[in-house]
A and B are shown apart, each in its own frame.
Chain A
């Protein structure tokens, strides 16, 4: 099927002033290739601060002014330029933002949902969408500060799906929601996907992501280090990259064991594998060579020594 979103070799750089007038270019996303097909839910998981939200903002054309984008983003076959993104976002492409600060604090949430329109049809649609997420109509008369975390989250989701978009970029839609509400929302995402929408589901909650995703992209320090199917996570022996294994081991329902160290800062690693500092199996070659994104066992991995399959 023709992908609805096709990102090819995208890199994002930030220009920062280091000291005085010395400028430097920080690579925050490097060589990212990713496709979303209609009806597909692609989960993006990975380290905090690895550029997952930036990916969302890049797709919507919302990157800040000091950023620079290389490579291509194709939406529905055509390049997604800044002006095209601006015309499509909120209509065909919609974002479920990460923070509840994206709500206007001075406007009642009902008015924000309806975008100021007051005709009967819009009101009816807003009422229906609120109901769908288990919020009453009385909620529409509240200001954002009067909502609980989970309620604000559901308002953000309701606002994003109101116009039945074709591509949804969900940036961490589930924290603050209890298991039942989260399941309900994921069920609704599935419905939207079955209706032909493509979805990029950015999350930390691996457990939850695995219940709906068709494909999982694992991010680390601005790179996709592994592309795996949801089934690969069911048997840990099938995962390919040591960081993906570490994620799996750190699940609270699993071993709950962290690995030492932290993700390097953008620009801190200039050569070799960014995971080298935390990798238990790092060798000399890893720190020097460019790491290719290679096909291994039906998925892809960016590692010179991918894990062997064990049963």
Chain B
């Protein structure tokens, strides 16, 4: 399987400054781990949002195996894991209820990511950032999922937990032949986990 951004141009509404991405192309193959690197504000998260289908490009296409992303059935095979897990969960739903919207969690994932049964009756504000991120990761790893977009997923984790999560994710990606797009500012982390590294081009205008 291939996830592809083909000549994608995108600008946010109401900003007359120019596109965030300008005719940008990227291909991620199944089983490949691509690192994405750029200074902050360059559009890394925007690219992830486009690839996951949260935004539609103004020009160009996002293709999964040559077909547009929105034709992919009920569960999108491209899942994004967000930089700030506390904003990625509904603050008014208990974690168990959030989970009920997408179906349960596999026991195997619960065990590997140290997710406690007791969390399910808690609200997101009651857990630490690292705990929420592990929950979000487990939620994203449904069997249908083929591509994971990891937007700074381990920036709020301590080094031991970061190493645990990445070793788990690498094994999982290997076994299920997942394609990963890894956004991080940590060069040594990218060098560790990625098979290749892409840098976002400098836009034709300055963002900030």
Contact = CB atoms under 8 A, between A and B. Distances in A.
Asked if A and B bind, the verdict is yes
A135 B86 CA distance: 25
Contacts of A138: 208
A204 B208 contact: no
A48 B114 CA distance: 13
A101 B87 contact: yes
A175 B152 CA distance: 8
A98 B130 CA distance: 12
B203 interface: no
Nearest to B14: A146
A176 interface: yes
B39 A99 contact: no
A116 B140 CA distance: 41
Contacts of B130: 48-49
Interface in A251-291: 251-253, 256-259, 262, 265
A62 to B, nearest CB: 14
Contacts of B114: 262
Interface string B18-53: 000000000000000000001111100100000000
Contacts of A50: 158
Interface stretch (A68-76, A147-155, A188-196, A301-309): A147-155
A272 to B, nearest CB: 20
Interface in B76-109: 83-84, 86-87
A204 B158 contact: yes
Contacts of B159: 204, 206, 247, 250-251
Contacts of B188: 207, 251-253
B166 interface: yes
Interface in B109-165: 114, 116, 127-131, 152, 155-164
A252 B41 contact: no
B166 A204 contact: no
Interface in A119-147: 134-136, 138-139, 146
Given A101-B84, A149-B83, A252-B189, A135 B158 contact: no
B167 interface: yes
Given A99-B86, A149-B40, A178 B185 contact: yes
Contacts of A135: 208
A180 B40 CA distance: 10
Contacts of B129: 48, 98-99
Nearest to A54: B128
Contact of A175 (B87, B128, B156, B166): B156
A296 interface: no
Contacts of B189: 252
Interface string A23-64: 000000000000000000000011111100100000000000
B65 interface: no
B160 A246 contact: yes
A217 interface: no
Contacts of B158: 45-48, 50, 204, 247
Q: Which 10 A-B pairs have the closest CB atoms?
A: A150-B40, A48-B130, A175-B155, A49-B128, A253-B188, A258-B163, A250-B163, A258-B164, A250-B159, A252-B189
Interface of A: 45-50, 53, 98-101, 134-136, 138-139, 146, 148-151, 153, 172, 175-182, 204-207, 243, 246-247, 250-253, 256-259, 262, 265
11 contacts: A48-B161, A98-B156, A99-B87, A101-B86, A135-B208, A149-B45, A176-B152, A178-B40, A178-B185, A250-B162, A250-B163
Given A99-B86, A252-B191, 12 more contacts: A47-B160, A48-B129, A53-B128, A99-B129, A176-B40, A180-B39, A207-B188, A250-B159, A252-B193, A253-B188, A258-B167, A265-B116
